[in-house]
Structure 1
Amino acid sequence: MATIYDVSVLAGVSLATVSRVMNKNAKVSEKTTQKVLDAMKQLGYRPNAIAQSLASNRSNSVGILVSELHGPFYGSMMSGIEAELRTAEKHVIIAAGHSEEALEKDGIEFLISRRCDALILHVEAVSDEYLIELVNGDIPIVLINRYIAEIANHCISLNNELGGYYATKALLEQGHREFAYISGPSWKMDAQDRLSGHQRALTEFNVPYDATLTFEGDYQETGGSKGISYLLKQSRPFTALICANDEMALGAMTVIREKGMMIPEDISIMGFDNIFLSQFIHPKLSTIDYPIKQMGKMAASWTLKNTFNQAEQEITHIFTPSLVMRDSTRPV
């Protein structure tokens, strides 16, 4: 097996020069760099990443923990993170926590054990106290889609309450006064905030909140289909349905069509997230844009700036949602 010494002999350069080429040191001329690369290729030599990591105290990798690996929301988030880090020649290691405390902690410990230089965490089940202690440790950590006041400079989050407010206000302005609501899991902070925004808009327009027309969903299509089935059995009229995310809205729309009802003629529907599919279904879904890909890029920029000193841009910590009106809603 070829060694770095063999490369230096074949290329006719010192060991230090070979090391500089492997570490992409700009001080080595293009001609010398090519000689070293040619020698490495000829000998079939590949640098030992583990040895390099131990020598430099850097693995050039960033650990990412997400709640799930499936679905357009998490796909967009991971795509944004990876694209930004790849541009800076950093690699990612991904683990899933499945919104369970034990699994989230296990995933974090795994990423730390892989000598990741920093961690980007999308976690929901672990406590604020646990995360505050983690942030005060040795590894740079940034949280995405979570806000903790004590470590606000380590958080990249969305104003979910404002998004919930925008969603309901838009339909109120179209004349709707009878609302049904499918929320996310009640223990999740973003679900609580979106429902709070919904209630704030109702209060602003002097429309009473009807708890009997609220269903707790699961942020998946099944939650939407179960939710609308439950709501239609309540024998209470509503002209507008607001879903706390687009996936549940898609599930609800399927059931509504199966029951022979029309969207938006019979029921106007509003989602949340603005996932890729929302603009291609029929009718196109009105929703709240959640710039999760941009937030993923921002979390990566935070990591590059605070871990590798490679980013100069100003970090945005709280993103603002925006309203996207399409064909699934109409005035009363």
Structure 2
Amino acid sequence: MTENKIATIKDVAREAGVSIATVSRVINKSPKAGKASIQSVQSAMKLLGYRPNANARALVNKNSHTIGVLVNDIADPFFGSLIKAVDQVARENNKHLLIGNGYHNATDEREAIELLINSCRKSLIIHAKALTSEELIGFAKEVPGLVLINRYIPEIADRCIAFDNFKGAYMATEFLIQNGHKHIAFINSNHQIDDSFERKAGYLQALKDHNYPSPDNYIVAVDVNDEGGKAGMIELLSKNIPISAVLAYNDFIAAGVLFALEENNIAVPEQISLIGFDNGLISRYVHPKLTTINYPIEIMAKQATLLSLKLAKNEEYTPDTRIFSPTLVKRMSVGKCNLKD
């Protein structure tokens, strides 16, 4: 380091071989900083002559005007709706957003949260599916305004805004059963996350409660997009099993199902009924318009943001709802069963 160059936090991180977020934790004496990290960072600071200064303190004040948001993938319209809702509340409170992608991967989620903590410090809205509950509890202890959305952890229940995925899939399956369907397939997400587990469980429980069989060959797991839905439907058709209805993990998968059925001259809902999940924008513009399960992500995101801002200020706030319930949106893709047993 030359004499006329002032060391920065980036220089310290590079010298210590750690992330900027780790350096920040050491400087701020966070309990998340491990002994080895503390030792290497302190050694690097001493070697480089780095001292936390007025600029660093000014950054802390600046960070009080930001809200961090972690989503799976910003390119997914579902998470675009989440971010837009958070931004609306943020703007009303003179805040700006910083956004990270986690891609349902533990390493990506962890690194994104650490960077958001370093940048935002007080308010975080976290959609994390791959990290353990223990890690998220630890982050919640470090950040006063950390709120989990679409996840429920009993130990930090007051920081959670969640959705009843089980009930949604149960409701969708039961609606198909009420329309006379017995041979109901389920095209699930191939992500190993609680949403896919809970929706599968709801589907199976509805079949069980109505004394209908639930053979494994009626369930496939695919990528969570229209191409995945198309591939899943083709896989089901290739099995040559009787199918009168399909429940899709989300509306984009359902759109792919529609495409596959159209290619094979199978009419919806006359020959196969179809129900989606989420009530995203696409559900209203495919043909036929999708019957689906409404997932009130915008309302949930606004509640989560208000809760985060109140917690960051150490103010009392009780959300109207902590676990949101699904509702059925009836359109044109479900009809009475015409398949003979």
TM-score range normalised by the length of the shorter chain: 0.7 to 0.9
Out of 153, 177, 181, the position equivalent to 2:182 is 177
Determine the C-alpha separation between the residues in 2 that align with 1:103 and 1:190.
19
Task: Confirm whether residue 204 of structure 1 aligns to residue 241 of structure 2.
Answer: no
Q: Which residue of 1 aligns with 2:294?
A: 289
CA deviation after TM superposition for structure 1 residue 103, in Å: 0.9
Determine the C-alpha separation between the residues in 2 that align with 1:115 and 1:268.
47
How big is each residue's C-alpha offset from its partner over 1:123-180, in whole Å with a ceiling of 9 and x where there is no partner? 1111111111111224421011111111111111100000010000001001111111
Closer/same/farther in 2, CA of residues 49 and 259 from structure 1, 3 Å limit: farther
How big is each residue's C-alpha offset from its partner over 1:261-283, in whole Å with a ceiling of 9 and x where there is no partner? 11111110000000012012110
Q: Which residue of 2 aligns with 1:122?
A: 127
Determine the C-alpha separation between the residues in 2 that align with 1:154 and 1:280.
36
Compute the TM-score of the two structures, normalised by the length of structure 2: 0.79
8 Å contact from structure 2 (residues 73, 101) kept in 1: yes
Determine the C-alpha separation between the residues in 2 that align with 1:233 and 1:173.
27
Q: Which residue of 1 aligns with 2:35?
A: none
Q: Which residue of 1 aligns with 2:91?
A: 86
Secondary structure of 2:78's partner?
helix
Out of 215, 218, 224, the position equivalent to 2:220 is 215
Secondary structure of 1:163's partner?
helix
Q: Which residue of 2 aligns with 1:251?
A: 256
Closer/same/farther in 2, CA of residues 204 and 138 from structure 1, 3 Å limit: closer
Q: Which residue of 2 aligns with 1:236?
A: 241
Question: 5+ residue gaps in structure 2?
Answer: 1-53
Determine the C-alpha separation between the residues in 1 that align with 2:57 and 2:155.
37
Out of 280, 288, 305, the position equivalent to 2:285 is 280
Question: 5+ residue gaps in structure 1?
Answer: 1-47
Determine the C-alpha separation between the residues in 2 that align with 1:262 and 1:116.
53
Count of residue pairs the alignment pairs up: 284
Task: Confirm whether residue 260 of structure 1 aligns to residue 260 of structure 2.
Answer: no
Out of 149, 153, 157, the position equivalent to 1:148 is 153
Determine the C-alpha separation between the residues in 2 that align with 1:58 and 1:218.
37
Compute the TM-score of the two structures, normalised by the length of structure 1: 0.81
Task: Give the partner amino acid of 2:261.
Answer: I
Task: Give the partner amino acid of 1:197.
Answer: G
Determine the C-alpha separation between the residues in 2 that align with 1:60 and 1:320.
32
Determine the C-alpha separation between the residues in 2 that align with 1:172 and 1:116.
49
8 Å contact from structure 1 (residues 304, 311) kept in 2: no
Out of 133, 158, 163, the position equivalent to 2:168 is 163
Between 1:237-246 and 1:129-138, the stretch displaced more is 129-138
Q: Which residue of 2 aligns with 1:106?
A: 111
CA deviation after TM superposition for structure 1 residue 219, in Å: 1.7
Task: Give the partner amino acid of 1:152.
Answer: A
Larger radius of gyration: 1
Task: Give the partner amino acid of 1:90.
Answer: K
Secondary structure of 2:265's partner?
coil
8 Å contact from structure 2 (residues 144, 311) kept in 1: no
Secondary structure of 2:142's partner?
coil
Percent of aligned positions with the same letter in both sequences?
A: 35
Task: Confirm whether residue 74 of structure 1 aligns to residue 79 of structure 2.
Answer: yes
Task: Give the partner amino acid of 1:274.
Answer: N
Q: Structure 1 segments of 4 or more deviating over 6 A?
A: 48-51
8 Å contact from structure 1 (residues 121, 143) kept in 2: yes
How big is each residue's C-alpha offset from its partner over 1:276-332, in whole Å with a ceiling of 9 and x where there is no partner? 120121100000000011111111111122113688563421000101111001011
Closer/same/farther in 2, CA of residues 77 and 311 from structure 1, 3 Å limit: farther
CA RMSD in angstroms, aligned pairs only = 1.9
Task: Give the partner amino acid of 1:253.
Answer: L
Secondary structure of 2:268's partner?
coil
CA deviation after TM superposition for structure 1 residue 58, in Å: 5.1
CA deviation after TM superposition for structure 1 residue 57, in Å: 7.5
Determine the C-alpha separation between the residues in 2 that align with 1:78 and 1:69.
8
Task: Give the partner amino acid of 1:304.
Answer: L
